Structure 1
Amino acid sequence: MSDEWAIRTTGLTKRFGRRTVVDRIDVAVPRGAVYGFLGPNGSGKTTTIRMLLGLAAPNAGEMWLLGHRMPAAARQVLPEVGALVEGPAWYPFLSGTDNLARFDAANPAMRPRDRQRRIAAALDRVGLSHVAKKKVRAYSLGMKQRLGIAAALLAPRQLLVLDEPTNGLDPQGTREVRALIRSLAEDGTTVFVSSHLLSEVEQICTHVGVMSRGKLVAQGDLTALRRLHRPRLVIETPDVERALRVLDDLALRDVQREQTHTGSTEPRISAELDGVLPEDVCAALVHAGVRVRGLRPDHGSLEDVFVSLTGEGFDVDG
């Protein structure tokens, strides 16, 4: 397998009885990318991650991590991989520092004499230094999530796999984790992030894979994926009928009357641009005497792409 891929799978499949939860997916994560593994809860994301990390055996397909075939190369590869999957279990009566000490001691490649330095650095990076000595039973869910990321960062990693890393975090904690992911990527670490939050993926990821009901329905560079949604032009005008005639003369497709948003009094219409420039549409409207109160192109979001690919809303539990 080419060294350009941090993660690569072909035909990866997992079944539980007669139910197929991961259906022949071909994941391709470039080295150095922040890859958002996106899909509703129940779409097969966590099962895929468990197979990649050797926590579950696939029924079919092949997979490679960091250029090595898995699970045959697990002993060689997994020390280079940090992971947070479904929230780790903690000893509630021990402090954050003592819990991390047990994680660190389980890694035979780590020198004991450097343990305290590694733990302090990991806690500082996730913003938990001030509660390092506090018992974990007093931690909030968000603090436990950040402690899990700290455990994944106890050693230098080529690949970091995070399953819903912002689960339970308040807005400030979420921003801190996003900043952390960006800084890790800047340092050269490949980050694989599963999430059901589209806004989160759009803010931090360079590449995206979209899961729906166990299938990988789209994958690629984030900008390229957005282009799967045909760009539309949204126009605010009180002269709706006159504007509709202009759009018809320009042969724009899928012209629609938009619902008026709360707090807005202006009627809206929209149409697919289909290669026509927004400024040309605006000029034609003004030339025809249409009073244009607002005009903006809408290039779509990941949610638009998801709906167009699957025909379902993103809150569907697959």
Structure 2
Amino acid sequence: MPIAQNTRTGEVPDDGPGGGAVLTAERPMTGRTGADEDLSIVTDGLTKRFAGGQVAVDALDLAVPAGAVFGFLGPNGSGKTTTIRMLLGLVTPTSGTCRVLGTPMPGGAGTVLSKVGALVEGPAFYPYLSGEANLRRYDAADRSADPRTASARIGLALERVGLSAAARKRYRAYSLGMRQRLAIAAALLVPRQLLILDEPTNGLDPQGTREVRALVKEIAADGTTVFVSSHLLAEVEQMCSHVAVMRAGLLVAQGPIADLRAAEAVRIRVETPDTAEAVAVLAGLGLPEIRVGDGEVGAGLATEAPERICAALVTGGVAVRGLAVQRPSLEDVFVGLTGEGFDVDG
């Protein structure tokens, strides 16, 4: 799937939250290259306006490949949760359409939601009941679940999220990480084709964050499409294969993370007291975008091998204290697309 920017006319505003350069103007603006049956989620012009004219989601064209770990990224208030509520049939769109697992929503909610697990805006459980007892109540409320297999499925779900040893412990004694894992277990009580997680690492300590991240990867490895909403760039970068970026209700870009990174140039950074001499050598090698800092020189790497650059610098009499290849992070990509960043560390 190519990177795509979402503007309904194909034009990009000069400023504002939807600004940015069109990366692949000759490609479809939705970023879709396959048939809809290859996509777990498809939206076309999906829009939600609330009372007073507030536009929470503006003409969203989203394409989530089946089997992907898809990061739905944006700062708080960018329209992520409203989009998820529309996908799940909890909020009716003002205009546009959405299909989940090939089924139009919200009309098809009764048939498709049994194939979808979701955690939206944090888990909700009875604090005085054990994790296992809470899951029994969740399972009993699911009309598609077979009560004859409840015990086996609950045990399997607890094992899958690593909570078998804490199954009889009361929920109020669970750590934040354990609570998030129990919520994911509730979403996996029956086999799911799609798992939607809204801010699954919100409020977690580093250990809890690692636990949830590892669990998402395990679920995806079993063939489930995982749709992860987050405002944390670093988490999405480590967890996801594809990403879409929202800002103020607009889709800024979407596509595989590798393709997004490829849009930003790889650079080389040389630490040296001989900045003038280093500039001359790098210019002689034809490296682009040479920039001089305090005790360092940077340049676009282009096609030149780093070891050859280092050898040329030493041969040219440049004292090289350090040399590093800097590959663009997800933060670099988004700054390049939008002209600004957002909550990188939360």
Normalised to the residue count of structure 1, the TM-score between the two structures is 0.91
1:79 and 2:111 are equivalent in the alignment = no
Deviations 1:295-317 (A, max 9, x none): 2221210000111111112229x
Range that drifts further, 200-209 or 134-143: 134-143
Listed as ranges, the gaps of 5+ residues in structure 2 are 1-34
Listed as ranges, the gaps of 5+ residues in structure 1 are 260-266
Q: In structure 1, what is the equivalent of residue 342 of structure 2?
A: 314
- 1:84 Cα offset (Å): 0.5
Q: In structure 2, what is the equivalent of residue 292 of structure 1?
A: 320
Say which of 147, 158, 161 aligns to 1:123.
158
Counterparts of 2:265 and 2:77, CA distance in 1: 28
1:167-316 to 2 correspondences below 5 Å = 167-258=202-293, 267-315=295-343
- 1:251 Cα offset (Å): 4.3
Range that drifts further, 250-259 or 123-132: 250-259
Change over 3 Å in CA distance of 1:23–1:277 after alignment to 2: farther
Q: In structure 2, what is the equivalent of residue 9 of structure 1?
A: 43
Deviations 1:51-77 (A, max 9, x none): 101111111211111112212221111
Deviations 1:238-272 (A, max 9, x none): 2111112223334433322346xxxxxxx222122
Amino acid at match of 1:8: V
Counterparts of 1:14 and 1:286, CA distance in 2: 60
Amino acid at match of 1:149: I
Counterparts of 2:289 and 2:200, CA distance in 1: 39
Say which of 90, 94, 98 aligns to 1:59.
94
Deviations 1:162-200 (A, max 9, x none): 111122333333222222211211111111111122221
Range that drifts further, 168-177 or 10-19: 168-177
Q: In structure 1, what is the equivalent of residue 148 of structure 2?
A: 113
Determine helix, strand or coil for the equivalent of 1:134: coil
Instruction: Tell whether the 8 Å contact from 1:145 to 1:168 is kept in structure 2 after alignment.
Output: no
Q: In structure 1, what is the equivalent of residue 7 of structure 2?
A: none
Determine helix, strand or coil for the equivalent of 1:254: coil
Determine helix, strand or coil for the equivalent of 2:269: strand
Counterparts of 1:42 and 1:81, CA distance in 2: 24
Amino acid at match of 1:247: L
- 1:275 Cα offset (Å): 4.2
Amino acid at match of 1:38: L
> In percent, how many aligned pairs have the same letter?
61
Range that drifts further, 281-290 or 292-301: 281-290
Normalised to the residue count of structure 2, the TM-score between the two structures is 0.84
- 1:280 Cα offset (Å): 4.2
Counterparts of 1:58 and 1:275, CA distance in 2: 48
- 1:230 Cα offset (Å): 1.7
